[in-house]
Structure 1
């Protein structure tokens, strides 16, 4: 990646298409959702955590079809979403308590000063204001799969047709890339924004995408407390650790 070599450190193997990867910085724990085999249960998705420091890991119980994660790092609050609303999760007690939006099917969650969610199957964006959620009117005519507010206040979002930037003022959106299939938008500990897609990982900078990792079939991306990349493919979650030795042997992805 760039002019540096990295070693794949497998964190969790035999996990189906892990997505919505997020790091709880206080504990350096990865929270994510993954697909469940039909023969396993009547659920489609489950949530889980993996502590990168202690290697402790477990499935998170009590959230039907859990598939969404957002974290308020400043106030140490973890929000999880499933087919029956939004829950709050405690990393110490390992208990998920119901929070809000009973009966709503939560597709995705995002936190930046406010909590946002995207519902399913309408793919509409809602924002929490004064302890209540309301549809974001600027996006009422737009279906959204992934939503992100950058530190410079750029608003970018993705749906099945590509990746877009939204501009307030005259409210309009224009395409950043209509060829990729976006699977996650996230940022590192320095606030740099990255896009995980079907054809690799891109860095978003000055309204353009710059490919940093050319790997197909990725499903999720996060950065741990040390700013190391945590990546998932169809069967594994792994950490990319910089190697100071170089390439010893070529490995097939």
Structure 2
């Protein structure tokens, strides 16, 4: 491992001119903190509740660009590159056991206690991953798989669909993206629903496994009682979204990693 040479820019946007400089997210008011800038072509972002780090993939600047894995320590705001994985594409974490999985064009890896990648028996070009009870991943052929006990099997509910990304929520719904369109199917069924209003940039779950959708119209959360997506924030063009132990949003936009800090006192402009 080696330090990631990107100096962190950490500041709090304040209301010095008595105007609101924060963000309302899910009816709560947050201050905006840029915790890392200058991240070249960030692709994937995930918070680990066990070590207070944000893991992310990004492009190294070189004659031959390669996608690398790094983490940002939120206690010190220092970033470190994890070597040993060529063209890292995606991250998934079993938060209960602190197992960190990394997908790449060379297959599947696990990060051990010494922060060294160990290869797992999947030789596939992995594009996206998600962990809920078991590890789910999609490959370059846009097929969706479950990895369990050293074997990969197709996700039965998604056979016949071209899947770019997927997540599972707290009501056994699989949300998946195909060509930036959002679809939903209940585990154990084949009844696929489409949320066609939304052009999707990223999908994520919070610490309660609630499903969030980052789209061109803002950020939405799935309402499992009304079967609709409710808007929770007006921010858009997000590359990735994750949540810390306090369920505060952390997201990637442009070349920035941004953390929202909850303020108990809301802000109201005249």
Q: TM-score range by the shorter chain?
A: 0.7 to 0.9
Which of 218, 233, 242 matches 2:238?
218
Q: Residues 17 and 233 of structure 1 are in contact (CA less than 8 Å); yes or no, is this contact kept in structure 2?
A: no
Q: Residues 20 and 184 of structure 1 are in contact (CA less than 8 Å); yes or no, is this contact kept in structure 2?
A: no
1:182 aligned onto 2:215? no
Q: Residues 57 and 68 of structure 2 are in contact (CA less than 8 Å); yes or no, is this contact kept in structure 1?
A: yes
Q: From the superposition, tell whether residues 170 and 106 of structure 1 become closer, same or farther in structure 2 (CA, over 3 Å).
A: closer
* Structure 1 segment 1-253 matched on structure 2, within 5 A: 1=24, 3-37=27-61, 40-90=62-112, 92-102=113-123, 104-120=124-140, 122-167=141-186, 171-175=190-194, 177-206=195-224, 207-244=227-264, 247=267
Deviation (angstroms), 1:129: 3.9
Count of matched residue positions in the alignment of Structure 1 and Structure 2: 243
Deviation (angstroms), 1:98: 1.1
Q: Distance in 2 between matches of 1:167 and 1:242?
A: 33
Q: Deviations over 1:183-212 (max 9, x none)?
A: 332222233221122332111112211111
Q: Distance in 1 between matches of 2:58 and 2:35?
A: 14
Q: Distance in 2 between matches of 1:159 and 1:35?
A: 24
2:157 alignment partner, SS class: helix
* TM-score, structure 2 normalization: 0.82
* TM-score, structure 1 normalization: 0.87
Deviation (angstroms), 1:86: 0.5
Q: From the superposition, tell whether residues 200 and 59 of structure 1 become closer, same or farther in structure 2 (CA, over 3 Å).
A: farther
Aligned residues: CA RMSD: 2.2
Q: Residues 173 and 187 of structure 2 are in contact (CA less than 8 Å); yes or no, is this contact kept in structure 1?
A: no
Q: From the superposition, tell whether residues 93 and 179 of structure 1 become closer, same or farther in structure 2 (CA, over 3 Å).
A: same
